[in-house]
Amino acid sequence: MSALPPPPGCNVELTKRVLVGFLREETHRVGMTRAVLGLSGGIDSALVIELAVRALGPENVLAVAMPYRESHPDSLLLARESAQHAGVELEVADISPMADGYLENNPDLDDKSLESVRLRRGNVFSRLRMTTLYDRSAKLGGLVFGTSNKTELMLGYGTQHGDMASGINPIGDLYKSQVVALSRHLGVPSEIIDRPPSADLWAGQTDEDELGFTYDSIDALLFRLIDRRESRESLIEQGFQADFIDTISKRVRINQYKRRPPLIAKVAARTVNLDYRYARDWGT
Amino acid sequence: MDCRVALCQMRPKLGVIDSNLETHHQWLDQAIAAGAQLAVFPELSLTGYFLRDLTQDIAMKLDDPRIAALVARSHECSVVFGFVEESRDHRFYNSVAFAEDGKILHVHRKVHLPDYGIFEEGRYFASGDSFEQVESKYGRFGLLICEDAWHVTSGWLHFLNGVDAMLMPVASPARGIDTEEPELSSQKSWRNLTDAQALLFQTWVLRCNRVGFEDGTMFWGGSAFISPFGKAVVEAHGEEEELLVHTIDSESLKRARIQTPLLRDERPHMVRSHLARHLNDPDAERGIQEHGDPEQS
C-alpha cells in the first residue's frame, strides 16, 4: 500500500493554542488548578504533559509512572526523560504488588502464551493504573488528563475504565500522525517520538504488529472515512485495499460501545443522556 | 450617520444568566468609557450556547426584569444582546434584541437554525420568519444571527433595504486544524463569508463572535469590523476576551456605492419573476404579466 494518500496534516501552532486553552479553561471551570496524568514513556502521554505544563504550570502537574515488574525498563527511563523535559517531578508507583495480589488469586491468568490471557492481564494492569491515578486525583485535587488519541479511540484500541478513563482528554481528536507532528513541535524528546508505539502490556509488543497495519495507513484511511466521509468506492480508487477498508470499518463499528457511556434502559419520561440532555459544563 | 461601535467579544457562562447579566454591565461600562454609542454582544450572550435542555429552563419573556435591566442601560449606549426568548404561546427563539433610549427597537428571531454536525438548534428553537431593519438614531441596521449570514438571501434582503451596517452576533465553534493554513477552517470560512457580504452588499459588516470553551468546543473569537469595500479594518487578536471599538462612517458607504453602484443597479423585480417561476406561484406570475416588470418600463 505504498501509493496511499498521506495521513492528515496538523497546524501545530494553532492546535497547541486550542489544546492548551482547553486544558486550562476546562480544568479551572470545575474549580481545580491541578492535573494528574500517567506517563508511560510513550508519545501520547509525553505530548499531554507538554500541553499540561503550558496550561497549568509545571508545579500544578503530577506525573505518575506506574510500571509492572515485567514492563520494559526503557519505558520508565523514557517516562523520566519526558517528565524532566516538561519540568515536572515524577512519582513512581510500582503496580506490581497490587497486580500480583490479583494475579495470585486468579491462576487462570498465568498462561501468557494464550492471547486471551495476555489481553486480560493487560486490562488488569491498565485498570490498576487508573485506580492509582484516580486516587492521586482525590488526594491532590487534580483532574486526570487523558492520553488516548483519536486513532486508538476509533479502533477501540484501549482498555475501558483503564487507559481510556480520564476527566478531560486534550488529544482525543488528534490522529496518531498528528500526535507525532505536535510532539515534534513541542520538543518531546526524539527517543520517545521515534520509539515504535507500544502499550507495553507484554514483552516485545508493538501497536502496529498487533493492529496489523501501520499507523500512517490507518490514519490516512480513518481521516478520509470519518472526518471527510468519503465513500468506499472513492477510497478504493485512491489506493486503499477493500479488505483493509472493511477490516478497519468493522473495527470502528464494533467498538462504538467503548466510546459511549453505558446504555440505560429507558422506562421514564426523561432518561439520563437520552432525553435529559445537559452539557457537562452546565452552570460554569 | 457615523456611529462608534463596541464589539464585546466575551465569554458567557453556560446557563447562568445572573452572572452573565453582571458581565454585560461590566462590558457596557467599558464600552461607554471607550466612547461607544452602540455595543454589540455575541449570539446567546446572556445564556451561553450549547444549552440543550437548558433552552427552556433559562428562556425569558420580553418583559423579564433581567432584560429590562439591560434595556435601561441603552439610555447610555444602544445595545444588542442575545438570549432565549419565550413567546406568549411558549415557543422558544434564539433571539437578539436591539435596545436604544430605554426601549427595545427590534427583536430579531434567528431564521436559519443549524441542525447538523455539532449543532442542534432545530431541536430546541422555533425559527423566526423575517429580516426587518432597525431604524436607530445612528443609522439603519440589519441583524443576522450566525447561520442567518450563511444564507445569501438574508443579507440580500437587508441590502435591498439599504442598511448602513449588518450586525452579526455569532457563536462560531472552532473546527479544522488538519491543514497548514494559518487559521482554523471555520475561521477562514467566516472571514471569506463576511468579507464577501460586505463587498457584495456594500455595507459595514460587524462580526461579533464569542470566546471560551463549552464541553471541549472552543469559540474562536476573531470579531471584526469589515468595511463596505470588503476589508477587515479592525479585527480581534484571537480567541481571548477583547473589546473592539471602531467608528463606522457613512462616508465609506457613499464612496463604495459611488465606485460600484450595486444597490442602484440591483434588479429585484427580475428576481421576483424568477422566484415566481421557481416557486411555481401562479399568483405572482400573473401579477408580473398583468403589471409588467417595472424595471423594464
Q: Which domains does chain A have, with CATH numbers?
A: 12-199 (3.40.50.620)
Query: Do B196 and B289 fall into the same domain?
Result: no
Interval B70-76 mean pLDDT: 98
Instruction: Give the mean model confidence (pLDDT) for residues A55-69.
Output: 97
Q: Which residue has the higher pLDDT, A14 or A203?
A: A14
Q: What is the pLDDT of residues A73-109, one digit of tens each?
A: 999 999 999 999 999 999 999 999 999 999 999 999 9
Same-domain status, B45 and B79: yes
Confidence of residue B294 (pLDDT cuts 50, 70, 90): low
8 Å CB contact between B55 and B124: yes
Find, in chain B, the residue whose alpha carbon is nearest to that of A223.
B178
B65 touches A: beta carbon within 8 Å? no
Question: Cell numbers at residue B85, please?
Answer: 426568548
Of A147-156, A198-207, B20-29, B134-143, the one with minimum mean pLDDT is: A198-207
Note whether B13 contacts A17, CB cutoff 8 Å.
no
Of A60, A56, A71, A61, which is closest to residue A25 (Cα–Cα)?
A56
Contact A26 B51 (CB under 8 A): no
Rg (CA), chain A: 19
**Per-residue pLDDT at B285:** 65
CATH code of the domain covering residue B73: 3.60.110.10
* CB-nearest partner of B52 from A10, A227, A279: A279
B161 and B272 housed in the same domain: no
Residue B206 sits in the same domain as residue B284: no
Residue in this structure with the C-alpha cell 488516548, named with its chain if needed: A148
Question: For chain B, how many structural domains are there in total?
Answer: 2
Asked whether residue B292 falls in the same domain as residue B245, the answer is no
Arithmetic mean of pLDDT, A232-245: 97
Closest C-alpha to A47, from A4, A97, A10, A5: A10
* SS3 category, B4: strand
| Stretch 227-266 of chain A: residues touching chain B, C-beta under 8 Å | 227
Set of cell numbers at residue A83 = 517528565
**Mean pLDDT (whole number) for A231-242:** 97
ipTM of the complex: 0.92
CB nearest A9 (choices: B15, B53, B180): B180
Average pLDDT of chain B is: 94
What average pLDDT does range B250-273 have in this prediction? 95
Please tell me whether residue B54 adopts helix, strand or coil conformation.
helix
Residues B179 and B290 occupy one common structural domain? no
Greater confidence, A198 or B218? Answer: B218
The pLDDT of B24-39, averaged and rounded, is 98
Give the pLDDT band (50/70/90) at residue A6: very high
Structural domain range at position B291: 267-297
| Residue A2: pLDDT over 60 | no
| B44 vs B49: CA distance, rounded Å | 6
Statement: residue B297 has pLDDT above 50? no
How many angstroms from the chain centroid is the CA of residue B128?
Answer: 13
Residues B244 and B289 in one domain: no
Shared domain for B37 and B124, answered yes or no, is yes
Under the phi-then-psi rule, with left for phi > 0, alpha for psi from -120 to 50, and beta for the rest, what region is B141?
A: beta
Residues B158 and B292 in one domain: no
Residue ranges of A 187-226 with Cβ closer than 8 A to chain B: 223
Please indicate, yes or no, whether residues B256 and B276 belong to a single structural domain of this protein.
no
B118 conformational bin, left if phi > 0, alpha if psi -120 to 50, beta if neither: alpha
User: Is 80 exceeded by the pLDDT of residue A268?
Assistant: yes
- In terms of domains, do B256 and B292 share one? no
DSSP A165: -
Looking at the fold, whether B226 and B256 belong to one and the same domain comes out as yes
Residue B284 pLDDT > 70? no
